[in-house]
Structure 1
Amino acid sequence: MLEMKRGEVCVSEGKFVAYYRVSTGRQGRSGLGLEAQVKTVRDELDGGQWMIVGSFTEIETGTNKRVRPELAKALAFCRVMGAKLIVANVSRLTRDPDFMSTLVAAEVEVVFCDLPNTDGPVGKFMLRQMLSVAELEAGMIAERTRKALAAAKARGVKLGGDRGNLSADNAKGRAASIKIRQDQAARRRSDLGPILAEIRTAGATTLWAVARELNARGVPASRGGRWSSAQVLRVEKLTTVR
């Protein structure tokens, strides 16, 4: 359930997408628990210049807790808008390991209102470690390996392998980098697809009309800045919105 609040600027900085979750259909209909989450989010953001560009509410039942379409929509919208995901309570996302891996893979910055504020790379590192037990374990393995190599070096063991195949290694690195960029571009097109379809369905018949609506919604173009007809055409050629 997307509630666009275009232009809703209040007195933290930047764009935010709010994700709320209630556990039963009855709570979802009555608003029990939801109002408290909304208030917690607004209290957390109070005292700066910020904008809630969208909000999504997940209504879970006892049988569909592993299916969370609104979370997927919220993360996609964060990527499209260049926004952070904000959640009232960390426990609402970290009870399930599947949630952890989803958030880590989403490449979206997440703010939990009930955690101390952390800024910059340290904050991102702490969040990723908290959300993903697998990443924590990988870090511990890397640390043990580093200490083992240092101890071996102290004993006089010669470290390092054959360096004669650097060209092949560089080629593999370039191929991996290209693959990452291609995957990121494909995911962005996938994220934009529902928004473009919605704009077309609402009556935008020209590329310029679509670009104008994207700009009005504050959706940044692929390299930032404003949308043009040519940019819309390139994206629509690679999506299935038509």
Structure 2
Amino acid sequence: MAQGKFISYLRVSTAKQGASGLGLEAQRKAVEDYLNGGQWTLIEEVIEVESGKRSDRPKLTEALRLCRIHGASLVIAKLDRLSRDAAFLMKLQNDGVKFVAADMPEANHMVVGILAVVAQAEREMISARTKAALAAAKARGVKLGGDRGAALSDEVRAKGRAHRTAQANAKAADLRETIKALEAGGLTSLSRLARALNARGIPTPSGRGSWQAVQVGRVLSRIG
């Protein structure tokens, strides 16, 4: 039984199918059947006309952005409507977006599980090769090891700060269109923008608490 917030992603391969609705209605019906019952909210439906062989799909990118903004799951009618590329499915997981296929709801966990097994096998092979190389080096008299208790260097700290800044900038970029639309509608003060974001159920960048004027100000300073 479906629970939570969802963004629906429907895709057809040709402009003719998109204009006629051919294929879209069947996908929409499959999503509706999956969502039937439970406590759920369909925030938006996103339609794309693009070949499944391509992974650079702007409408899918938009759907993922909406999922991140709202803390929603991506729901699709059929798994092949998203992608036949397992690496691309893993990218969705790395982006932190949950997804479910109406024709195979268990695929979310199944696909990730299979990919995790493969990744673990690769890690074990790399580890085994590394250990073998270290053992061979030690046998040749190469001195191994170092100071494991050393303090973090300035370079490592700088990289950590850069990573956190990049994450904050990415979250702000996701919110750019939403905030600009609110401003265009006459909401120009930080407090009014905060109330509007809360009213739309959009989580804060940290995912904790509710929007405050100071948080909106920080996001605006990042998106310009």
TM-score by length of 2: 0.79
Shift of 1:79: 0.9
2:102 alignment counterpart: 113
Aligned to 2:42, what secondary structure does the other structure show?
A: strand
Alignment of 1:196 onto 2:179: yes
Change (3 A) 1:174 1:47: farther
Shift of 1:118: 6.6
Q: Does the Cα contact within 8 Å between 1:14 and 1:51 map onto a contact in 2?
A: yes
Shift of 1:176: 5.3
TM-score by length of 1: 0.74
Structure 2: state its 5+ residue gaps: none
Counterparts of 1:98 and 1:143, CA distance in 2: 19
Shift of 1:66: 5.2
Q: How does 1:34-53 map to 2 (within 5 A)?
A: 34-53=24-43
2:63 alignment counterpart: 74
Count of paired positions? 219
Q: Does the Cα contact within 8 Å between 1:109 and 1:124 map onto a contact in 2?
A: no
Alignment of 1:126 onto 2:113: yes
Shift of 1:47: 2.9
Change (3 A) 1:75 1:89: same
Query: Greater shift after overlay, 89-98 or 169-178?
Result: 169-178
Question: 4+ residue stretches of structure 1 with deviation over 3 A?
Answer: 64-67, 96-102, 122-125, 145-152, 168-180
Aligned to 1:226, what secondary structure does the other structure show?
A: coil
Shift of 1:151: 9.5
Alignment of 1:33 onto 2:23: yes
Structure 1: state its 5+ residue gaps: 1-10
Change (3 A) 1:151 1:101: closer
The percentage of counterpart residues that share the same residue type is 37
Provide the aligned C-alpha RMSD in A: 3.6
Query: Greater shift after overlay, 203-212 or 48-57?
Result: 203-212
